[in-house]
């Protein structure tokens, strides 16, 4: 039995434009596991380190509320493809993404799979890169758009595909050209992909910032209720 059959699906998305203050990073790091701190220490660029720490801190904060423990006691381990799992539990489903200046986490109940991705608006995607992840129909559609819209649509397609592949847990091991999206009444719809018979829902989320955020969820019980909030770190102010 799919786990989502008996309960209404709900997804909570938290968006966080985290602080650039190193005192804060050090404080957040205290709730990370030793393995996470070791990984944080391996980042060559401090921006990447901060982004990793902020992502895991936000994830721990949200999961701790969901499962009723403190952030430092949430036990996370990656599967063989890098997707994080909660030790000893199948629920809630969750996904994490980070990009320059923003981390976002989706926590889902009543869904079988959830994936989230984010990218900064205005990021340059070269023609060759578009060809490496878009289907022929998507490339034709993009080519017909005015240049400014095209750049944004190309980022939207990328985030939609990545969120779907993260929901499946395969990431970029799967060729993103095997998935194709179109728009119906302003909502992205997967028009080509391996398992379209399942109940997939895709959304572009209003980030309130210069970022495109895409959500993919597979929920047998129908359209999930989706709530989005801007996370505020209320633990302690920066020095
Ligand atoms: C999953 C993947 C698409 C993430 O891409 P990204 O742009 O680097 O990172 P994002 O900010 O979107 O997401 C990062 C989070 O995705 C999650 N993640 C990693 N692998 C994942 C997978 N296979 N499925 C779902 N989620 C995954 C992790 O929680 C990660 O957070 P962490 O860095 O704190 O561990 C990419 O890492 C991938 O394809 N991995 C699997 C295949 C692989 O290893 N390929 C080598 C490079 S192509």
Per residue in 51-96, pLDDT (tens digit) is 999 999 999 999 999 999 999 999 999 999 999 999 999 999 999 9
Over the Cα atoms of the chain, what is R_g?
18
**Ligand 1 atom, smallest distance to 169 CA:** 24
With a 6 Å cutoff on the Cβ, whether 183 touches ligand 1 is no
Residue 147, C-beta contacts closer than 8 angstroms, at least 6 positions apart? none
How much is the pTM?
Answer: 0.93
pLDDT value at residue 234: 84
Measured by CA distance, the residue closest to atom 14 of ligand 1 is: 97
Q: From CA 163, how far away is CA 118, in angstroms rounded?
A: 8
CA of 208 to the centre of ligand 1 (A): 24
197-214 tens-digit pLDDT? 678 999 999 998 899 999
Residue 24, C-beta contacts closer than 8 angstroms, at least 6 positions apart? 18, 233, 238
**Ligand 1 atom, smallest distance to 52 CA:** 34
- CA 9 to the chain's CA centroid: 17
Q: How confident is the model at residue 239 (pLDDT cuts 50, 70, 90)?
A: very low
With a 6 Å cutoff on the Cβ, whether 104 touches ligand 1 is no
Does 41 score more than 70 pLDDT?
yes
Q: H or E segment at 149?
A: helix 147-168
Does 3 score more than 70 pLDDT?
no
Does 49 score more than 70 pLDDT?
yes
CA of 104 to the centre of ligand 1 (A): 13
Domains within the chain, CATH numbers bracketed: 10-230 (3.90.470.20)
With a 6 Å cutoff on the Cβ, whether 55 touches ligand 1 is yes
């Amino acid at each position: 039995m799919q786990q989502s059959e008996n309960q209404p699906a709900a997804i909570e998305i938290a968006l966080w434009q985290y602080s650039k203050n190193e005192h804060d990073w050090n404080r957040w790091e205290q709730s990370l596991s030793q393995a996470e701190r070791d990984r944080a220490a391996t980042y060559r660029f401090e921006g990447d380190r901060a982004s990793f720490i902020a992502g895991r801190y936000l994830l721990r904060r949200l999961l701790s509320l969901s499962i009723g423990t403190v952030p430092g006691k949430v036990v996370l381990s990656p599967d063989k493809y890098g997707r994080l799992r909660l030790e000893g539990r199948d629920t809630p489903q969750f996904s994490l993404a980070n990009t320059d200046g923003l981390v976002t986490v989706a926590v889902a109940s009543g869904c079988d799979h959830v994936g989230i991705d984010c990218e900064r608006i205005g990021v340059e995607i070269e023609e060759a890169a578009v060809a490496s992840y878009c289907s022929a129909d998507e490339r034709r559609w993009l080519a017909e758009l005015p240049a400014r819209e095209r750049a944004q649509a190309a980022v939207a397609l990328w985030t939609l595909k990545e969120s779907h592949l993260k929901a499946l847990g395969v990431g970029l091991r799967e060729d993103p050209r095997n998935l194709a999206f179109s728009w119906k009444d302003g909502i992205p719809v997967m028009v080509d992909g391996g398992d379209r018979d399942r109940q997939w829902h895709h959304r572009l989320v209003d980030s309130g910032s210069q970022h495109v955020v895409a959500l993919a969820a597979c929920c047998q019980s129908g359209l999930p209720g989706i709530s989005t909030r801007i996370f505020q770190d209320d633990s302690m102010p920066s020095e």
